[in-house]
């Protein structure tokens, strides 16, 4: 299907798909939407989707969980209560909690994006060794899942689990640690080849003094380098917030994120630069807001084309949660977590997150 993807018109590909007599909106396409944007749909949800149509289905997926209906409130309170009881546990105890949330969440697209960002901003529970920090990070990703990318990156830069994982707590004025600066550019925002070693060094200086005290982020002015710095030719007494802003202003940043979203939701192969560019322009134009780009992807001709439908392999986690949601079934999530770990393809709280 990579060859077929390369024949798609980059402009027409992201226009809304409309059902026709020869290509009707049916259960196959509705199930495709729910497999990608959710974890699967029950028979009742598919019946409702057929009546609603693709555009309204996407609207509901994007808005789910925002309202203050009693069921959503009850679910959120239940999750908070369960999380509070796990904060002092071993980090591995969080896996069943998150699987339970994926299985029963009233906002599956938000949870799907939380999983996406968890893979994007990868950390390891084996390194962090602190359940409370991992819970905080998980909630941060969920809070910003559909929002603007810059506040998410700023929040992750202060995240205690990330600070611990990349040794940022040792990033001091006299001995800058470049780990987070390198990951920020290479894996989180720009991609390989879109920065220089000098940019990394100067960014590391900008983040000096960002540390943890009593499990929380703290700025230590005594360990921060207040000197002049130059990142991507912008010079000043820059701090970490300035560094993130400058990095996200680079032309490669929206292209990098757009490509990852396409590969996650549409297909793994055949994603040309020409297909990425319209979504990158949308991100540049809307202040790096993720939700409008998700809407464009999930309602597009490309999403419902033969280059997308049936062209991705689900991970064991996605398969298990998808089957259970489709059948409206239940299972002990402790046993489910152990089963996923045995597959060695899924570690919901580790670096190797999933095969998608």
Q: Which residues contact 157 (CB under 8 A, 6 or more apart)?
A: 180, 184, 207, 210, 240, 244
Has residue 135 been placed in a domain? no
Print the domain residue range for 53. Answer: 2-66+251-312
32: left (phi over 0), alpha (psi -120 to 50) or beta: alpha
- pLDDT of 342 > 90? The answer is no
User: Per the domain annotation, does 57 fall within a domain?
Assistant: yes
Phi, psi (rounded to 5 degrees) for 16? -60, 135
Residue 61 domain-assigned? yes
Least confident stretch, 122-131, 140-149, 252-261, 277-286:
122-131
CB 314, CB 307: distance < 8 Å: no
- Going by DSSP bridges, is the β-strand pair 229-231/234-236 parallel, antiparallel, or unpaired? antiparallel
Q: Across residues 129-157, what is the average pLDDT?
A: 96
Whole-angstrom Cα Rg for the chain: 21
Task: Report pLDDT for 7.
Answer: 61
Nearest to 93 by CA among 39, 139, 132, 127: 132
Decide if 322 contacts 39 (C-beta within 8 A): yes
The least confident of 41-55, 212-226, 245-259, 336-350 is 336-350
Spatial separation of the C-alpha atoms in residues 257 and 153, rounded to whole Å = 12
Sorting pLDDT into bands at 50, 70 and 90, what band is 148? very high
Q: What is the pLDDT of residue 341?
A: 66
**What is the H or E stretch that residue 60 is in?**
helix 54-63
pLDDT, tens digit (0-9, with 9 covering 90-100), for 224-274:
999 999 999 999 999 999 999 999 999 999 999 999 999 999 998 878 999
Lowest mean pLDDT among 65-79, 83-97, 280-294: 65-79
pLDDT at position 343, please?
46
* 331 domain residue, yes or no: no
Long-range pairs of 97-103 with CB within 8 A, sequence gap ≥ 24: 97/333, 98/138, 98/348, 98/349, 99/317, 99/321, 99/333, 99/336, 99/337, 99/340, 99/348, 100/333, 102/39, 102/317, 102/321, 103/39, 103/321, 103/324, 103/325, 103/330, 103/331, 103/333
User: Is residue 349 situated within a structural domain?
Assistant: no
Model confidence at 109: pLDDT above 90:
yes
Q: Averaged over 95-106, what is the pLDDT?
A: 93
296 domain residue, yes or no: yes
- 43 falls within a domain: yes
- Residue bearing tokens 């969980």: 65
Q: Are 169 and 201 in contact (CB under 8 A)?
A: no
Asked if residue 207 has pLDDT above 70, the reply is: yes
DSSP states of 317-346: HHHHHHHHHHHT----HHHHHHHHHHHTS-
Checking if the pLDDT of 353 tops 50, the result is no
Question: What's the angle, vertex CA 183, arms to CA 180 and CA 185, rounded to 5?
Answer: 110
Within a domain: residue 13?
A: yes
Task: Give the Cα separation of 39 and 103 in Å (integer).
Answer: 8
Q: What is the mean pLDDT of the chain?
A: 90
**Partners of 235 in the beta sheet?**
230
Write out the two tokens for 22.
Answer: 């020869």
Name the domain count of the chain.
Answer: 1
pLDDT of residue 220: 95
- Give the model's pLDDT for residue 347: 41
SS3 content of the chain, % helix, strand, coil (to 5): 60, 5, 35
Residues above pLDDT 70, as percent of the chain? 93
Write the CB contacts of 321 (distance below 8 Å, at least 6 apart in sequence): 39, 40, 99, 102, 103
Indicate the pTM of the whole model: 0.91
Mean pLDDT lowest among 127-131, 189-193, 221-225, 333-337: 333-337
**78-91: pLDDT as tens digits:** 999 999 998 888 88
Give the percent of the chain with pLDDT over 90.
Answer: 74
């Amino acid at each position: 299907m990579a060859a077929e993807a390369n024949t798609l018109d980059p402009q027409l590909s992201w226009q809304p798909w409309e059902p026709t007599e020869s290509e009707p909106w049916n259960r196959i396409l509705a199930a495709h939407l729910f497999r990608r944007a959710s974890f699967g749909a029950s028979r009742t949800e598919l019946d409702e989707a057929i009546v609603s149509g693709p555009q309204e289905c996407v609207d509901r997926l994007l808005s789910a969980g925002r309202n203050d209906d009693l069921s959503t409130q009850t679910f959120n309170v239940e999750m908070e209560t369960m999380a509070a009881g796990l904060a002092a546990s071993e980090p591995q105890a969080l896996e069943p909690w998150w699987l339970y949330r994926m299985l029963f969440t009233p906002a599956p697209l938000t949870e799907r994006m939380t999983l996406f960002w968890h893979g994007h901003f990868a950390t390891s529970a084996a390194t962090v060794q602190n359940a409370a920090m991992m819970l905080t990070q998980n909630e941060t990703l969920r809070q910003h899942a559909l929002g603007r990318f810059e506040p998410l990156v700023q929040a992750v830069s202060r995240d205690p689990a990330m600070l611990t994982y990349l040794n940022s707590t040792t990033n001091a004025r006299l001995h800058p640690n470049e780990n987070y600066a390198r990951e920020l550019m290479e894996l989180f925002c720009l991609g390989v080849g879109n920065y220089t070693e000098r940019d990394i060094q100067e960014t590391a200086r900008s983040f000096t003094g960002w540390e943890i005290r009593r499990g929380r982020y703290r700025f230590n002015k005594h360990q921060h380098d207040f000197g002049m710095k130059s990142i991507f030719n912008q010079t000043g007494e820059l701090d970490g917030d300035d560094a993130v802003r400058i990095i996200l202003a680079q032309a490669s940043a929206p292209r990098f994120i757009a490509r990852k979203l396409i590969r996650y939701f549409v297909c793994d192969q055949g994603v040309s630069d020409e297909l990425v560019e319209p979504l990158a322009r949308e991100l540049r134009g809307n202040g790096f807001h993720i939700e409008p780009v998700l809407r464009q992807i999930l309602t597009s001709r490309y999403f419902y084309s033969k280059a997308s439908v049936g062209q991705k392999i689900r991970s064991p986690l996605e398969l298990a949660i998808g089957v259970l949601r489709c059948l409206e079934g239940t299972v002990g999530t402790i046993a489910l977590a152990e089963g996923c770990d045995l597959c060695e393809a899924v570690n919901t709280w580790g670096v190797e997150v999933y095969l998608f």
